[in-house]
Amino acid sequence: MGSKLSIAFLVLAAFTTAAPAQDKSPNNANDIIARGEYLARAGDCTACHTAPEGRLFAGGRAMPTPFGTLYTSNITPDPDTGIGKWSADDFYKTMHSGRFPDGGLIYPAMPFASYTKVTRADSDAIYAYLRSIAPVSQKNKPHELRFPYDNRQLILGWRTLFFSEGEFKPDPKKSAEWNRGAYLVEGLGHCGMCHSPINALGGTSQSDAFKGGLIPMQNWYAPSLTSNREAGLGDWSIKDITDLLQTGVSMRGVVYGPMAEVVHNSLQYLNDEDTRAMAVYLKGIAEGSSPPPAATALPTTESSLLISLGKTVYDKHCASCHGTQGEGKPPHWPPLANNQSIEMQSAVNPIRMVLNGGYPPGTKGNPMPYGMPPFAGLLSDNEIAAVVSYIRTAWGNRGTPVSAREANELRSAPLN
């Protein structure tokens, strides 16, 4: 641990003297386009703007929200159905202000509250890249929002509450690397879209940024990035963080579900410097001290029965990969002991993993990932609850037991 920390300090020191924004001015159009492609990946534009089996950036992907279904737009340079008539100013205005070139309001499913932090130079590079791709003639599909959410004027209220326009302002007290990481995480990375609690109005308050929350419609819990009891990375080594972001697997844990999408489509393409900058920033925002574990809602007798059944289920189905002491065989078979995603207050993710299994994303660094089998068909609600209760409390883990009802409810959670 000591040596890992000192490496982190060395890295920090090495970057303190670097230029703040690391914006080398690219000297020709191809460099700008290449940089734009890189930044479009950092922004994960494709996750929403490319439909399954659809053409790149032609939109048309259905985005279910609590307010109805949105369909993403065509951002190819087709003049009639895409953004072919947009100027670089128009594009920047959209990214920065959340308004169409004609001033129309954009639904905040587009993460403009994050993209507003993107610099003009980076916006221009993304614009140049989008101009360079194949135009696709494909009309945008109208949104299907329920009354009253189909009234775009409501967005004005949302903007007043949750949107503050403005490019990223570096913190002069922090290193250039920390600031680069903050710029990527808070801006293009739009990590806060999932990793912050979403209120009933579909907004996030600044003070709750990165504090974790259940992702609406998907029923995955996006853990807090600030609490070390969740996905706070305060006691992770920089290497474990960069491994997780770049390859999807690490000695501490593995990404599944919506985060697998982010690693697959976006983070694996970031260069080592940017990945490390994000890691430094993420490690930095984690709280040093951890709040005490929440009390369980289950009566003690029920908990102990569950945990004892849980050990039986664990030894039979789980121990062969995850080890009798929850040690796993990391990075491919993740450890369960001292694994924050198992212990955190929300048990949604561990229950879902037992029910549905999962594969980490196939990445350049881990092209043939190992998969977790789904147990929905093999284990009863009671057995699922038991084994999840067991792994949340065994080996010094500080989670709480879960009920069969919680397990049952997640059987019907959407899988895609």
> Which of 125, 148, 100, 115 shows the shortest CA–CA distance to 48?
115
> Which of 242, 415, 222, 386 shows the shortest CA–CA distance to 306?
386
Q: Which of 361, 383, 400, 410 binds other proteins (CB under 8 A)?
A: 361
Where does this chain touch other proteins (CB under 8 A) — which range of 76-84, 142-150, 357-365, 394-402?
357-365
Minimum gap (Å) between residue 149 Cβ and other proteins: 26
Q: Which of 333, 337, 338, 404 binds other proteins (CB under 8 A)?
A: 333
Strand partners, 71: 62
Q: Which of residues 368-387 bind other proteins (CB under 8 A)?
A: 368-378
Question: CB-wise, 237 or 303, nearer to other proteins?
Answer: 237
E strands, 172-300, are 213-214, 221-222
Sign of the dihedral through C-alpha 251, 257, 259, 264: positive
Three-state secondary structure call for residue 20 = coil
Minimum gap (Å) between residue 344 Cβ and other proteins: 22
Pull the structure tokens for residue 43.
């922004």
Question: CB-wise, 30 or 320, nearer to other proteins?
Answer: 320
Question: CB-wise, 1 or 368, nearer to other proteins?
Answer: 368
Q: Which of 158, 162, 359, 395 binds other proteins (CB under 8 A)?
A: 359
Where does this chain touch other proteins (CB under 8 A) — which range of 119-127, 180-188, 234-242, 350-358?
350-358
- Residue 414 interacts with other proteins (CB under 8 A)? yes
Question: CB-wise, 31 or 261, nearer to other proteins?
Answer: 261
Minimum gap (Å) between residue 264 Cβ and other proteins: 4
Q: What is the DSSP string of 184-195?
A: HHHTTT-THHHH
CA distances to 162, 178, 192, 212 from 207, rounded to whole Å, are 11, 20, 12, 12
Within 10 Å of residue 10's Cβ, how many Cβ atoms?
Answer: 10
The span from the CA of 305 to the CA of 302, in Å, is 5
Q: Which of residues 44-63 bind other proteins (CB under 8 A)?
A: 52-53
Three-state secondary structure call for residue 231 = coil
Where does this chain touch other proteins (CB under 8 A) — which range of 111-119, 142-150, 352-360, 396-404?
352-360
Question: CB-wise, 234 or 374, nearer to other proteins?
Answer: 374
- How much of the chain is in helix, strand and coil states, percent to nearest 5? 45, 5, 50
Minimum gap (Å) between residue 328 Cβ and other proteins: 9
Residue located via tokens 């494709």: 46
Q: Which residues contact 101 (CB under 8 A, 6 or more apart)?
A: 86, 87, 90, 93, 94
Question: CB-wise, 95 or 353, nearer to other proteins?
Answer: 353
> Which of 130, 131, 207 shows the shortest CA–CA distance to 162?
207
Q: Which of 123, 228, 242, 356 binds other proteins (CB under 8 A)?
A: 356
Q: Which of residues 224-263 bind other proteins (CB under 8 A)?
A: 260-261, 263
Three-state secondary structure call for residue 1 = coil
- Residue 299 interacts with other proteins (CB under 8 A)? no
Minimum gap (Å) between residue 283 Cβ and other proteins: 25
- Residues at the contact surface with other proteins, assessed by CB under 8 A: 52-53, 260-261, 263-264, 321, 329, 332-333, 356-362, 367-378, 414-416
